[in-house]
Structure formats: C-alpha cells, structure tokens
C-alpha cells in the first residue's frame, strides 16, 4: 500500500507546488485589475465597492493620454524597425558565411542581456553628443536596438525550417536575389514576422529605463507609471495598469499565437 501512496502524494505535492508558483506569478496582475475597480483611494482589504471612477479619471488626465500616445508611437516604430532589422540579420545569418559573422550575430543578440540601467545611461551619454537626446525618435532607435534581438531569434528559428533548395530553385528559374527574397523567403517567414512585430511592440511598450533616460520630457506610459509611483499613492495607477496589462498581454499572446510555441516537439517522438 505505502509504495502506491507515496508516488501519488509526491505527484500531488508537485502539482500543488506548480499551482502555488502560478499563483505567485499571476497574483500581482490580478491585484492590479481588481483594485482598479475599487472605490477606495488606497488599495487594501476590505474592498471599498465597485467603481469605474479611476478608469474615468485616467481618460481625463492629459499627461496619461500623452504618455499612451507616445507609447503607441514608440511601440509601432520599434515594431516595424525591429522586424525589418531582425529579418535582415536572421536572413544574413541563414544565407551567408563570412568573416566576423559571429560578432555580427552577437551584436544583434546580446543587447537584452545588458542591464537597462547601464544601457540607458550609455545611450543617453552617447546620443546627447550626437544631438539625438530627448526625442521620441531616439527612444524608438534605442528600443529597436534591443528588440531586434528577439525579432532575429524568432525569424531565425522559422528559417531553420526553410528548405535550403527553395531559393536556389528560384535563382535557377531566373529570379534575382531580391525577387527570390520577397516572393519566396518573406512569405515563408510571415508568421514569424507578424510574431516579431507584436513581440517587439510588447518589449517597447514595457521598457522604462531607456525611455526614461533617452526620452527626456517625452514620457512613455511605463515612465509615467514610474514617475507616478515615486510620488504619493495614486489610485489611478491601478486603472492605468489594467489598460497597460491588457495591451501587453494581448501583444505577447498574439506573438505566441503566430509562432505556435510548443514544448513537446523534441520530446514527443519517443
């Protein structure tokens, strides 16, 4: 008997542990959403009753509206540029061999590994010398330098499944490199390109250090949140947070949907 009960208990413990971890990860997000509808000024237990007051308040806050607008502009710009650069980098890596290729790939791959505090400071120092500081374009440029790493990874992964002979076949039939690229490679990569678009938008939409350092007076929404948090308790934060959370989650889920994340691929054929 005991030999059967023990493995069962162990499995139960494993599942409970995992459930606990998921609660730990999900709880903060739930807290924000729940308290954004709370009538109390300060979020705590007991709940002060349902209210849309704070959601309404953020619509009337010009700074919050501007920050949202800035974030959307920066997110869109980053998404487009990062996908273009990420595709170019992934394709160059896929197609050619050349001296310094490893360095080239690393140059695109490592920016997310550098702490954003240091990156933000360095970008501010460098860009203010170039006269690019304090503009949304600068934030877009810097976000692109970071997000293109994810774009390259997603597109490169897709290119792994791309038949090596398809392009040479197109060239043999008389297509130029450019024509083959746009009519054969790009359509094949479309899901990864779309995923890269959404994911880099999410990365930009979530990033605050670089935007804070480089953006100057142009606040994006996470920077606005950071500044609000450093002031007094502000019940609007939960309402802003709910909107921001909804946007980021939708972006990341869309990205995943187009990539089709599967864990089992290698494990299943057993």
Partner 1 sequence: MTGSSPPGAADSPRGFLTGSRSTAGSPAVFAMLLGLPVLLWQIIFFAGPLVFLVVITFWQVKSFRLSPAFVADNWEKVLTSTAFLRALGHTLTVAGTTTVLATAIALPAAYTIAFRLSPRLRDFAVAFLVVPVFSSYILRIYAWQVVLSPQGVINGIAGLIGVEPLPLLGGAFSLQIGLLTLTLPIAVLILTFGFAGVDRTLIEAAENLGCRRGRVVAHVLLPAIRPAIALAATTSFLLAFGDYVSPLFMTGSKPPTLSIVVVDTVKSGSQWPRASVVGVSMLLILVAVLALGQVLSRRTRLRRGGR
User: Taking CB under 8 A as the criterion, which residues in 153-182 touch partner 1?
Assistant: 153, 156, 160, 164, 167-168, 171-172, 174-178
Which one, 184 or 209, has the nearer CB to partner 1?
A: 209
37-59 as b/e: b if 16+ CB within 10 A:
bbeeeebeeeebeeeeebbeebe
38 strand-pairing partners = 50
Which one, 73 or 162, has the nearer CB to partner 1?
A: 162
User: Taking CB under 8 A as the criterion, which residues in 2-31 touch partner 1?
Assistant: 7, 10-11, 14-15, 17-18, 21-22, 24-29, 31
* Count of other CB atoms within 10 angstroms of residue 76: 16
99 part of the interface to partner 1, by CB under 8 A? no
117, 183, 186, 190: residue in contact with partner 1 (rule CB under 8 A): 117
Stretch that binds partner 1, among 58-66, 68-76, 122-130, 189-197 (CB under 8 A): 122-130
105 part of the interface to partner 1, by CB under 8 A? yes
Q: With beta carbons less than 8 A apart as the criterion, state whether 215 and 137 touch.
A: no
Q: With beta carbons less than 8 A apart as the criterion, state whether 115 and 80 touch.
A: no
The position carrying tokens 């990874």 is 153
184 part of the interface to partner 1, by CB under 8 A? no
141 part of the interface to partner 1, by CB under 8 A? yes
User: Taking CB under 8 A as the criterion, which residues in 197-256 touch partner 1?
Assistant: 199, 202-203, 205-206, 208-209, 213, 222, 225-226, 229, 237, 241, 244-245, 248-249, 251-253, 256
Which one, 69 or 253, has the nearer CB to partner 1?
A: 253
**CA–CA distance, 212 with 191 (Å, rounded to integer):** 32
57, 73, 88, 254: residue in contact with partner 1 (rule CB under 8 A): 88
92 part of the interface to partner 1, by CB under 8 A? yes
Q: With beta carbons less than 8 A apart as the criterion, state whether 258 and 196 touch.
A: no
Q: Which among 207, 35, 21 is positioned nearest to 123, based on CA atoms?
A: 207
64 part of the interface to partner 1, by CB under 8 A? no
Q: Which among 77, 46, 58 is positioned nearest to 241, based on CA atoms?
A: 58
- Helices vs strands, H then E, count in the chain: 12, 0
As measured in angstroms, the least distance from the Cβ of 248 to partner 1 is: 3
85 part of the interface to partner 1, by CB under 8 A? yes
Total of residues contacting partner 1 (CB under 8 A) = 109
**CA–CA distance, 201 with 207 (Å, rounded to integer):** 10
113 part of the interface to partner 1, by CB under 8 A? yes
């Amino acid at each position: 008997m005991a030999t059967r009960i023990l493995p069962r208990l162990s499995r139960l413990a494993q599942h409970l542990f995992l459930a606990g971890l998921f609660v730990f990860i999900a709880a903060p997000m739930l807290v924000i959403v729940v308290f954004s509808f709370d009538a109390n000024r300060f979020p705590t237990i007991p709940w002060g009753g349902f209210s849309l007051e704070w959601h309404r308040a953020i619509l009337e806050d010009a700074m919050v509206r501007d920050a949202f607008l800035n974030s959307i502009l920066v997110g869109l710009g980053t998404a487009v540029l990062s996908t273009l650069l990420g595709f170019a980098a992934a394709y160059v890596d896929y197609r050619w061999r050349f001296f310094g290729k490893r360095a080239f790939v690393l140059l695109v791959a490592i920016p997310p590994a550098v702490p954003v505090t240091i990156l933000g400071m360095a970008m501010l120092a460098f860009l203010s010398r170039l006269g690019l500081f304090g503009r949304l374009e600068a934030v877009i440029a810097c976000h692109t330098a970071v997000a293109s790493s994810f774009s390259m990874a997603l597109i490169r992964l897709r290119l792994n499944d791309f038949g090596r002979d398809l392009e040479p076949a197109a060239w043999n039939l008389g297509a130029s490199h450019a024509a083959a690229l746009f009519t054969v490679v790009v359509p094949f990569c479309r899901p990864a390109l779309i995923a890269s678009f959404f994911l880099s938008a999410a990365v930009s939409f979530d990033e605050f250090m670089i935007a804070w350092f480089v953006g100057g007076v142009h606040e994006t929404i996470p920077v606005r949140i950071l500044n609000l948090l450093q002031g007094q308790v502000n019940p609007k934060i939960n309402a802003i947070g709910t909107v921001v959370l909804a946007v980021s989650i939708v972006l990341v889920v869309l990205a995943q949907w187009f990539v089709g994340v599967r864990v089992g691929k290698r494990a299943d054929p057993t």
